[in-house]
Chain A
Amino acid sequence: MLELQNLHVYYGAIHALRNVCLKINEGEIVTLIGANGAGKTTVLRTISGIEKAKSGKILYNGQELNSRSASDIVKLGISHVPEGRRVFSAMSISENLEMGAFTRSDKSQIKKDLDNIFSLFPVLLERKNQLAGTLSGGEQQMLAIGRALLSRPKLLLLDEPSMGLAPLIVKDIFSIIRDINKEGTTILLVEQNANMALQCANRAYIIKNGRIDIEGNAQALLNDEQVKNAYLGG
């Protein structure tokens, strides 16, 4: 479904991604893990068209995405939940969700999808007229995911959904991620919580200093001695 071929990305003089190759098949949960600053977020931002690749290709169902604008990429069915949630704090919850459906014009279908989001996250319905900035971290994460789903993505990019959340909430979020995947959305999950991510994913890539270091079956990596020592706390 999505394929990154020999991707190089620079921030000014800094070589942030070096020759990154990555493949996601339809229906999978693929996770990308690695230390702080390894380039995980950059991979997602490049896929969504916020950063531009210096060389290499991003292919989505055979189409090249490199030269497309971020808004085109959303229209093609890729939705990105950014790191730190980034909800529109001074807008209400329903306005945030409305922004998620920005590229769509099928009003009656949007209404139905909105009802689905509210049944997935009932807390958002209770507070739909409240400003998003007043929500707790976990609720903001739910809002960010709900907002991303309203563009009807075929591929959902999640950037550290567990960041800064209490362990119980993290569990909820991961079970929601699995549910979303069961409904047919392919997922690329970036995480620092390698343990949770590997348990949830089908396949995994480990990124180190901008390069893909290890790739493989998520279960196998969970039992790999080298990965255990470096990323799973021994």
Chain B
Amino acid sequence: MDQFIQQMVNGISLGSIYALIALGYTMVYGIINLINFAHGDIYMVGAYVGFALTTFLHFSFFPALFISMLVCSILGIIIEKVAYKPIRNSTRIAALITAISVSLFLEYGMMYFVKAETRTFPALLPNKQINLFHTNIVLDIRNLYIIFVTISLMAILQYIIYKTKVGKSMRAVSLDRDAAQLMGIDINKTISYTFAMGSALAGAAGVLVGTYYNSINPLMGVAPGLKAFVAAVIGGIGIIPGAVFGGFFLGITETLVSAFGGSLYKDAVSFTILIFVLLVKPNGLLGKNIKEKV
């Protein structure tokens, strides 16, 4: 039982990282129907920005997190303007190929600048174990930091999307782009905001993972990017609560599978779940069948 609770905390921590990245996938998909395969690499760039700030400029955790989010949001806006905007009205396969190219460009462009080797990310968070309520349950305080930061970011995102004018216009554009334009909503600006927010979340995830695992490299975004994409699809891509649910679901499942002896199979389990969900409920577990009223 003690081990189960400890593993649950690990799972929630991993899941919250997946959820943070999945949110960016789902927001971008919701607004321009594009699977932004470069999203995982934005997360990698976030980790490197955090690494540079803390190693060379000796920033502490929260300022580094904040600046890294800012840099990633600017990067997201630039990627959209340069790579995706010119092909917005092309076929979806063209957009997909562009996204993969952007992803490779970021990976190998980064490798050119920082070299391919793995870097050691400084330990920014206190690496302390605490006993929960004097029981035998031992918690790593860094997991609690990760959970705290991700939940706060999700709460802020929730607030922005449902309560502010920018967020409401994002929802309007994702529901009906033409009608949103007729309201006077500037589509280009709204898409930029979406990329900025999604990329900022990925940047935050990069710094959190960097400080948790203490090691980063230019290809670190590939696997978590793919997993977060799977999480977004499991929850229902384009649906924000779906990304959060899918992220936690996948994180907890993987951690429990590893904990009970199946660590070699954890990826297989994730993708089996994906295939199963796609077969049974292609719109995702929280997705609705889209009906149109004429």
Give the Cβ gap from B190 to chain A, nearest Cβ, in Å. Answer: 10
A103 nearest CB neighbor, chain B only: B184
Q: Is the CB of B172 within 8 A of A147?
A: no
The 8 closest A-B pairs by CB, nearest first: A74-B184, A103-B184, A86-B179, A70-B181, A71-B184, A88-B175, A99-B183, A102-B183
**Subset of 14 A-B contacts with CB under 8 Å:** A50-B182, A70-B182, A70-B184, A71-B181, A86-B176, A86-B178, A88-B175, A88-B180, A95-B168, A102-B185, A103-B184, A147-B183, A148-B182, A151-B183
> B186: which A residues are within 8 A, CB to CB?
69, 71
Q: Apart from A88-B171, A88-B179, A88-B180, list 8 A-B contacts with CB within 8 A.
A: A71-B181, A71-B185, A71-B186, A98-B168, A99-B168, A99-B183, A103-B184, A164-B294
Identify A88's interface contact among B176, B181, B293, CB under 8 A.
B176
Give Cα A91 to B180, complex, Å.
Answer: 12
Which A20-50 residues have C-beta < 8 A from chain B?
Answer: 48-50
Q: Which parts of A56-92 form the interface with B (CB within 8 Å)? A: 69-71, 74-75, 79-80, 82, 84, 86-91
Q: How far is the CA of A131 from the CA of B181 in the complex (A)?
A: 20
A24 to B118, CA, bound (A): 69
In the complex, A86→B172 CA distance in Å?
A: 11
> Which residues B174-198 have CB closer than 8 A to chain A?
175-176, 178-186
Q: Are B182 and A88 in contact (CB under 8 A)?
A: no
- Give Cα A82–Cα B171 distance, bound, in whole angstroms: 18
Instruction: Please measure, in the bound complex, the distance between the C-alpha atom of A108 and the C-alpha atom of B183, giving whole angstroms.
Output: 19
Query: Does B165 count as interface, using CB distance less than 8 angstroms?
Result: yes
Closest residue of chain B to A69 (Cβ to Cβ) is B186
Decide yes or no: A91 and B293 within 8 Å by CB, A69-B186, A71-B186, A80-B182 being known contacts. no
Q: If A86-B176, A133-B293 touch, does A91 touch B168 (CB 8 Å cutoff)?
A: yes
Contacts of A148 in B (CB 8 A): 182
B26 proximal to A (CB < 8 A): no
Q: Which residue of B lies closest to A163 (CB)?
A: B294
Q: Contact: A102 with B165, CB < 8 Å?
A: yes
Chain A residues whose CB sits within 8 angstroms of the CB of B181 once the complex forms: 48-50, 70-71
Given A88-B172, A99-B168, the answer on whether A75 and B178 have CB atoms closer than 8 Å is: no
Which residues of A are found within 8 Å of B178, using beta-carbon distances? 50, 82, 86
Q: Is there contact, CB below 8 Å, between B171 and A90? A: yes
- A13 smallest CB distance to B (angstroms): 16
Q: How far is the CA of A66 from the CA of B181 in the complex (A)?
A: 16
The 8 Å CB contact of B172, one of A50, A99, A151, is A99
**Whole-angstrom distance between the Cβ of A185 and the nearest chain B Cβ:** 16
| Contact residues, B279-294 vs A (CB, 8 A) | 293-294
Residues of A within 8 A of B175 (CB): 88-91
- In the assembled complex, B169 has its CB within 8 A of some CB on chain A: yes
Contacting residues, chain A, for B172 (C-beta < 8 A): 88, 91, 99
Most buried by A among B168, B181, B184: B184
Contact with A along B63-104 (1 / 0, CB 8 A): 000000000000000000000000000000000000000000
Contact, CB under 8 Å: B169 / A99: yes
Provide the A191-219 mask, 1 if CB < 8 A to any CB of B, else 0: 00000000000000000000000000000
Please, which residue of chain B has its CB at the minimum distance from the CB of A147?
B183
CB distance from A112 to the nearest CB of B (A): 19
Residues of B within 8 A of A140 (CB): 293
- Kindly state the separation between the CA atoms of A79 and B28 in the bound complex, as whole angstroms: 28
Q: Tell me how far the C-beta of A134 lies from the nearest C-beta in chain B, rounded to whole angstroms.
A: 10
Q: Given the complex of chains A and B, what is the CA–CA distance between A87 and B294 in angstroms?
A: 12
A185–B294 Cα distance when bound, in Å, is: 28
Cα–Cα, bound, A136→B254 (Å): 45
In the bound complex, residues from chain B placing their C-beta under 8 Å from that of A70 are: 181-182, 184
CB of A91 within 8 A of CB of B171, answer: yes
**Cβ-closest chain A residue relative to B178:** A50
A102 adjacent to B184 (CB under 8 Å): yes
CB-CB under 8 A from A50, the residues of chain B are 178, 181-182
A164 contacts which chain B residues (CB < 8 A)?
A: 294
A126 to B252, CA, bound (A): 43
Proximity string of chain B (237-257) to chain A, C-beta cutoff 8 Å, 1 when within and 0 when not: 000000000000000000000
Q: In the assembled complex, how far is the CB of residue B284 from the closest CB belonging to chain A, in whole angstroms?
A: 15
Q: Which of A119-176 contact B (CB under 8 A)?
A: 133, 137, 140, 147-148, 151, 164
Shortest distance between the CB of B170 and any CB in chain A (Å): 11
Which B residues are CB-close (under 8 A) to A98?
165, 168
| Chain A residue with the shortest CB-CB distance to B185 | A102
A99 to B36: give the CA distance in the assembly, Å. 28
